[in-house]
């Protein structure tokens, strides 16, 4: 049973436009959400996070929105740039016996067209 779902395996966006990546989760105990970006042959790199006590967090071109009632979060990238082309993973964490477990989605491949 997948607790974190990214239902769109891929997304193509024109350069300069907005990219919206979506993520749904099922476990209401999750209290911290993260987005990671992954280029080929590299490990995932942390992009932005949001605590469950907030509904929005912004960092430059990247904004994450959290809708707890819908158990949904999204990552907005604006304006999108060709260098943003990568696989984006959504992750959620919950504390278990004093350790945080991070559960990942399957990823969405973003392609920004020049």
Minimum CB distance to other proteins smaller for 53 or for 114: 53
Smallest gap from Cβ 89 to other proteins, in A, equals 7
Smallest gap from Cβ 68 to other proteins, in A, equals 18
d(CA 45, CA 30): 21
Q: Which residues pair with 99 in a beta bridge?
A: 96
Minimum CB distance to other proteins smaller for 52 or for 79: 52
- Site residues (CB under 8 A) for other proteins? 2, 4, 32, 34, 36, 41-46, 49, 89, 91, 93, 95-107
Smallest gap from Cβ 51 to other proteins, in A, equals 9
Which parts of 1-114 are beta strand (E)? 4-5, 10-14, 19-25, 32-38, 45-51, 56-59, 62-67, 72-77, 86-96, 99-104, 108-113
């Amino acid at each position: 049973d997948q607790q974190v779902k990214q239902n769109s395996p891929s997304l193509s966006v024109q350069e300069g436009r907005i990219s919206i990546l979506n993520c749904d989760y099922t476990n209401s105990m999750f209290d911290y959400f993260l987005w990671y970006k992954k280029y080929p042959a590299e490990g995932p790199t942390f992009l932005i996070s949001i605590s469950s006590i907030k509904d929005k967090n912004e960092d430059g071109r990247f904004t994450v929105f959290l809708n707890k009632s819908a158990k949904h979060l999204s990552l907005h990238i604006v304006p999108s740039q060709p260098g943003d082309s990568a696989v984006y993973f959504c992750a959620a964490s919950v504390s278990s016996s004093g350790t945080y477990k991070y559960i990942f989605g399957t990823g969405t491949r973003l392609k920004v067209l020049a």
